[in-house]
């Protein structure tokens, strides 16, 4: 049986909860096709989050890894295209560190692309009634950091079929209630969307060719 690793983050920036953890933990232990889901929480801490991700990858050897994080202010599930080799924190992480313009890996490549079928996932999420889009930036905080660490680890394992990527999700309605004017998505819809992303990934070896770019 294949393993699918889903990670979510602990709360950060004064939020009492993080929707990414609330959503993935609801899927822990679920069987999807021939795979079983393992959901784990990552600290919102530079360095430690990648260390934890690497130990999960070594221990679980997941065929598919989808890291999920909160992107307050976004209105859709954002299927990230690319992780970049830079930490540039707008706010301190949960241990008070705030790196500015630091490479994640000194000698690393500038960027890695997701190896999830991002276009097929967006297509299937929309079909299922879940607002979704390809996103061209995962930011420069801990989410991009983990995404880069994940792809850096998976890079030599591509031929072995290990795939991974990142999805950002909006605030939950109860969070948006404290951020007037910000969009939100229900937990049920997030859970459905992440489950669909797993289903689509397991069923799609080669991504579909569909428009998903942006002008700016
Ligand atoms: N979102 C932050 C880090 C943790 C999370 O859930 C980010 O987008 O970088």
What are the sequence ranges of the domains in the chain?
2-203
What's the confidence (pLDDT) of residue 106?
97
| 168 is a catalytic site residue | yes
| 105 is a catalytic site residue | no
Q: What is the pLDDT of residues 25-72, one digit of tens each?
A: 999 999 999 999 999 999 999 999 999 999 999 999 999 999 999 999
**Substitution candidate for ligand 1 out of 19, 22, 71 with most atoms within 8 A of CB:** 71
- Report CA torsion sign: 198, 199, 202, 208: negative
CA of 158 to the centre of ligand 1 (A): 25
Q: What is the pLDDT of residues 38-47, one digit of tens each?
A: 999 999 999 9
Structural contact between residues 39 and 24, judged by C-beta atoms closer than 8 angstroms: yes
φ and ψ at 157, to 5 degrees? -105, 5
What's the confidence (pLDDT) of residue 183?
98
3-state SS class at 113: strand
Catalytic residue among 44, 52, 143, 145: 143
Structural contact between residues 38 and 27, judged by C-beta atoms closer than 8 angstroms: no
Structural contact between residues 53 and 153, judged by C-beta atoms closer than 8 angstroms: yes
> Ligand 1: which atom is nearest the Cα of residue 42?
4
Q: Where are the alpha helices (DSSP H) in 61-176?
A: 118-127, 142-154, 173-176
Residue with tokens 């540039």: 88
**Closest protein CA for atom 9 of ligand 1:** 143
Percent of the chain whose pLDDT exceeds 70: 100
Q: How many residues belong to the chain? A: 216
Fold of 2-203: Aminopeptidase (3.40.630)
What's the confidence (pLDDT) of residue 214?
92
Angstrom distance (rounded) from CA 25 to CA 58 = 20
Q: Where are the alpha helices (DSSP H) in the chain?
A: 19-25, 48-60, 118-127, 142-154, 173-176, 187-203
| 44 is a catalytic site residue | no
Angstrom distance (rounded) from CA 100 to CA 160 = 35
Q: Which residues pair with 149 in a beta bridge?
A: none
**Closest protein CA for atom 7 of ligand 1:** 143
Q: What is the pLDDT of residues 103-116, one digit of tens each?
A: 999 999 999 999 99
Where residue 122 falls among pLDDT bands split at 50, 70, 90?
very high
| Tokens matching residue 159 | 């031929």
**Substitution candidate for ligand 1 out of 89, 140, 142 with most atoms within 8 A of CB:** 142
CA angle 192, 194, 200 (to 5 degrees): 100
pTM above 0.95, yes or no: yes
């Amino acid at each position: 049986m294949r393993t699918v690793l889903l990670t979510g983050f602990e709360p950060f920036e004064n939020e009492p909860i993080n929707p990414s953890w609330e959503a993935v933990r609801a899927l822990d232990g679920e069987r999807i096709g021939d795979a079983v889901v393992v959901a784990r929480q990552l600290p919102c801490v530079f360095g430690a989050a990648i260390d934890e991700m690497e130990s999960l990858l070594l221990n679980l050897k997941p065929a598919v890894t989808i890291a999920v994080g909160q992107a307050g202010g976004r209105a859709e599930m954002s299927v990230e295209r690319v992780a970049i080799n830079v930490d540039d924190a707008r706010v301190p992480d949960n241990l008070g560190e705030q790196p500015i313009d630091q490479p994640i890996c000194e000698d690393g490549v500038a960027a890695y692309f997701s190896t999830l079928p991002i276009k097929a996932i967006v297509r299937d999420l929309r079909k299922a009634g879940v607002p979704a889009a390809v996103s061209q930036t995962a930011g420069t905080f801990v989410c991009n950091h983990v995404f880069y660490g994940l792809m850096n680890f998976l890079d030599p394992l591509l031929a072995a079929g290990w795939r991974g990527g990142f999805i950002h999700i909006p605030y939950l309605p109860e969070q948006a209630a404290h951020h007037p004017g910000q969009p939100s998505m229900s937990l049920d819809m997030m859970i459905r969307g992440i489950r669909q992303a797993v289903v689509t990934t397991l069923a799609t070896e080669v991504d579909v060719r569909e428009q998903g770019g942006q002008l700016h």
